[in-house]
Amino acid sequence: MKTKDEDKKSSDAQLDLTPRLSTLDSQLDLSPCQITVLDSLLQAGFKFVTFERYARYLAVEREGFVALLEISEGKVRLLGQVGYHVGEGIAMLVERPEGQAFVWKGESVPATTEMLAAYERFRQDLCQLLKGSEGEPQ
């Protein structure tokens, strides 16, 4: 059972979707399919973010993990791989002798078991939601 605060947050988030998608639509000239995919990302807890160095692309973030999206030709596609938000950039998961870490420039964040599980959830959820945009079977 939801508390009043949870109900308010839930309704606030839903009320907030239309203005954000309208703003994106006016900037990007989105197709109905793209709007549906972007709406599903918001409903799944992803937030739209931007990175100055990747200004050409829309990014989504959840639990500190980020992915750049290419929005073109009526589709929404993952550009590159999922990473972790570090400073002003996106750290990529790499294997090192001392274990896995998310690395961006000189910064490194050790990839804990919990982080790796969250990373995998983010990646799987994102890929599943983007499949609808590609016209692939789900």
First to last CA, the chain: 31
Sheet holding 89-96, edge to edge: 47-49, 58-62, 65-72, 75-86, 89-96, 99-104, 107-110
Supply the pTM of this predicted model: 0.76
Q: What residues contact residue 38 under an 8 Å CB cut-off, 6+ apart?
A: 21, 24, 30, 48, 76
Nearest-angstrom CA–CA distance, 119 and 38: 20
DSSP lists the bridge partners of residue 110 as 101
**pLDDT confidence of residue 107:** 93
Q: In this predicted model, what pLDDT tens digit does every residue of 89-119 receive, in sequence order?
A: 999 999 999 999 999 998 999 999 999 999 9
Residue 52 has pLDDT above 70, yes or no: yes
pLDDT at 7 over 60: no
Give residue 6's region: left, alpha or beta (phi > 0; psi -120 to 50). Answer: alpha
